[in-house]
Amino acid sequence: SRRRKSAELSDVVELDNFVDNEALDQLKSRDSVKKTSSLLRCFRSGDTGESRTIPLTGNATKGKQKFPANTIRNQKYSLLTFIPYTLYEQFKYFINFYYLVISLSQLIPALKVGFLFTYIAPLVLVVVLSMLKEAYDDIKRMKRDREINSEKYLRLTATGFESIPASDICVGHFIQVKSNQRIPADMVLLRTTNETGASFIRTDQLDGETDWKLRRAVNLTQELNSDEDLFAMDAEVYADK
């Protein structure tokens, strides 16, 4: 017999072997899992803020509602915006703007005092060095983003596990998170390798707390004989606003 079950969540993501709630209702976390391999389902909030129902199929959820990509972008600039944004950041400070005005005033013969170079050179040097530092920092942020977005995870499919980057994880996927692996999205803990369905997570990147927190898998899915039995279920997860 096929069973149907709804669970209320605040965000949506499906995974294979992860951390979930003490009740069965909620789980929102993005850090490391300790001492267990967990199977989770990915959920992600849409831009509309509407409630939604996500079928427990293991496949990307299709429908009218669009979900944002599971990517991290901490870059501040692009090639087009770097120069105008950094110039604005430099000259929004009074001291830099003051020296810019003084330097430009030296282009007027009646106001000229000394050589123009002595006014322009120090200002240009300070601005260029500041822009180079901003560029260096932004390149480091871009490299970190690429590293995180390209981290590999195992997705459970009807034919077995396949490796996909974190950026390709979609709402509805079953994802396996291994011990001490970063949790790539908001997820619901369905199964763990621990018989009791327990898993420990750390959320220091979210709230600064370094203590390990206990989360338990949904009883219904934890009691299944194998991970593949998830595909035989007729179930869904309801996410409220």
User: For residue 73, which of 149, 151, 133 has the smallest C-alpha distance?
Assistant: 149
pLDDT of 11 reads 32
Q: What number is the average pLDDT over the span 94-103?
A: 87
Q: What number is the average pLDDT over the span 57-66?
A: 72
pLDDT of 68 reads 83
Confidence band for 145, pLDDT divided at 50, 70 and 90:
very high
**What distance in Å separates the CA atoms of residue 89 and residue 131, rounded to the nearest whole number?**
9
- Arithmetic mean of pLDDT over the chain: 78
Higher pLDDT among residues 48 and 115, named by residue = 115
Report pLDDT digits (tens) over 7-50.
333 333 333 333 333 333 333 334 444 444 566 656 554 445 56
User: 147 vs 16, 46, 126, 201, CA distance in Å?
Assistant: 22, 25, 32, 22
Collect all residues with Cβ–Cβ distance below 8 Å to 14 and sequence separation of at least 6: 40, 41, 42, 43, 54, 56, 58, 171, 172, 173, 174, 175, 187, 188, 190, 237
pLDDT of 121 reads 87
Confidence band for 220, pLDDT divided at 50, 70 and 90:
confident
The yes-or-no verdict on residue 175 having pLDDT over 60 is yes
User: Taking the model in full, what pTM does it have?
Assistant: 0.66
The yes-or-no verdict on residue 217 having pLDDT over 70 is yes
Count CA atoms closer than 13 A to 85's CA, side-chain side.
11
Report pLDDT digits (tens) over 183-208.
898 888 898 988 888 989 888 878 88
pLDDT of 134 reads 94
